């Protein structure tokens, strides 16, 4: 079987029922598109670390937005509302980082009306979204942050910068690429289909520990570091399978590690895995067994 055939089958088997173990599930709790867009951005921003920790932090955060994310952030005033985020922490991001993030998101909405419109204002087009992402991050971090930090320029070591990692710095931009997958791909029961201005053909795979490892095992890349160059290399390989929607397989590949337990070495998880016939781990095991 070809890689495309196997990935198609694998994606069908990893459907919406896997959302329960995914941060995207929080955006699905809202019906208003403005709430969904903001919930998706915040969920992606905090999607690092253990799944249980991510879900606990997001439940805490959205529990504070009793009026909904769009109403809270649209009227957010740090001097009045910062206390509502008091005590929040997700790993090394604390309440100050979330106050700053909410303020930057409010400024985006004031400037452009939505995150999508703000993103498109700096999108020069092109085969992928790399340049647009770098522009998005640069412009977001250039907003006046006096209400948060008492000075116009964002401090060099402000934790909110972590939410805006840019391709220009070499980052794989996993969380921002994941956000873009969620909002740009059509509503298929998993992704949200909120944006119309960015073609899914330009998306770049959200490269994390799981997808980087699995991509190497499938021969989609041989690069040792999960950086922007590897993300582009893997996306190019996937674009050859589906030029119009290269990241359509990302959800299934990520959950091979998140939900199925693949660790990149031979184990019990290999037996039911539909990718086993194409995976370097199982191929090497078969060669060793034949040698014996």
Q: Which of 202-216, 235-249, 255-269 has the lowest mean pLDDT?
A: 255-269
Q: Residues 103-143: pLDDT tens digits?
A: 999 999 999 999 999 999 999 999 999 999 999 999 999 99
The model's pLDDT over 179-218, given as tens digits with 9 standing for 90+, comes to 999 999 999 899 999 999 999 999 999 998 888 888 888 8
**Interval 245-252 mean pLDDT:** 89
Mean pLDDT along residues 61-80: 97
Mean pLDDT of 216-242: 92
Is 275 inside any structural domain?
Answer: no
Which residues are CB-contacts of 275 (< 8 A; sequence separation ≥ 6)? 6, 7, 10, 214, 218, 256
Q: In which residue are the tokens 């005033």 written?
A: 77
Give the residue numbers spanning the domain of 12.
3-261
> 135-173 pLDDT, tens per residue?
999 999 999 999 999 999 999 999 999 999 999 888 999
* Cα–Cα distance measured from residue 92 to residue 200, given in angstroms and rounded to the nearest whole number: 32
Residue 10 lies in a domain: yes
Whether residue 268 is contained in a domain is answered as: no
Q: What is the CA radius of gyration of the chain?
A: 20
Percent of the chain scoring above 70 in pLDDT: 87
Q: At what angle do helices 250-258 and 209-217 cross, to 10 degrees?
A: 100
The encoded tokens of residue 40 equal 């998706």
Burial class (CB in 10 A: 0-12, 13-18, 19+), 178: buried
> At residue 28, does pLDDT exceed 90?
yes
- Please spell the DSSP secondary structure of 256-286, one letter per residue: HHHTT---SSSSGGGTT-TTGGG-HHHHHHH
**Total domains, the chain:** 1
Within a domain: residue 114?
yes
285 in a structural domain: no
In a domain, 44, yes or no: yes
142 versus 9: the higher-pLDDT residue is: 142
Give percent of the chain with pLDDT exceeding 90: 70
Residue 271 maps to a domain: no
Residue 278 lies in a domain: no
> Taking 50 as the threshold, does the pLDDT of residue 266 lie above it?
yes
């Amino acid at each position: 079987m070809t890689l495309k055939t196997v990935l198609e089958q694998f994606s069908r088997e990893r459907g919406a029922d896997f959302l329960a173990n995914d941060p995207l599930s929080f955006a699905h709790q809202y019906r208003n598109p403005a709430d969904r867009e903001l919930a998706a951005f915040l969920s992606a921003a905090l999607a690092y670390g253990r799944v249980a920790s991510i879900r606990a932090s997001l439940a805490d955060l959205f529990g504070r937005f009793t009026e909904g994310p769009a109403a809270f952030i649209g009227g957010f005033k740090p001097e009045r509302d910062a206390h509502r985020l008091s005590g929040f922490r997700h790993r090394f991001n604390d309440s100050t980082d979330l106050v700053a993030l909410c303020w930057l998101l409010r400024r985006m909405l004031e400037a452009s009306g939505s995150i999508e419109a703000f993103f498109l204002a700096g999108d020069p087009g092109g085969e992928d979204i790399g340049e647009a992402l770098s522009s998005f991050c640069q412009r977001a971090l250039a907003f006046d942050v006096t209400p948060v930090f008492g000075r116009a320029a964002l401090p060099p070591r402000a934790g909110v910068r972590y939410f805006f990692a840019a391709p220009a710095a070499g980052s794989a931009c996993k969380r921002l690429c994941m956000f873009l997958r969620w909002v740009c791909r059509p509503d298929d029961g998993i992704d949200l289909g909120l944006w119309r201005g960015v073609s899914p053909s330009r998306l770049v795979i959200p490269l994390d520990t799981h997808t980087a490892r699995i991509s190497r095992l499938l021969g989609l890349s041989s690069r040792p570091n999960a950086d922007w160059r590897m993300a582009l290399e893997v996306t190019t390989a996937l674009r050859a399978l589906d030029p119009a929607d290269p990241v359509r397989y990302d959800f299934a590949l990520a959950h091979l590690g998140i939900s199925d337990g693949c660790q990149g070495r031979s184990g019990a998880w290999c037996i039911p895995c539909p990718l086993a016939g194409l995976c370097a781990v199982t191929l090497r095991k078969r060669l060793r067994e034949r040698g014996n």
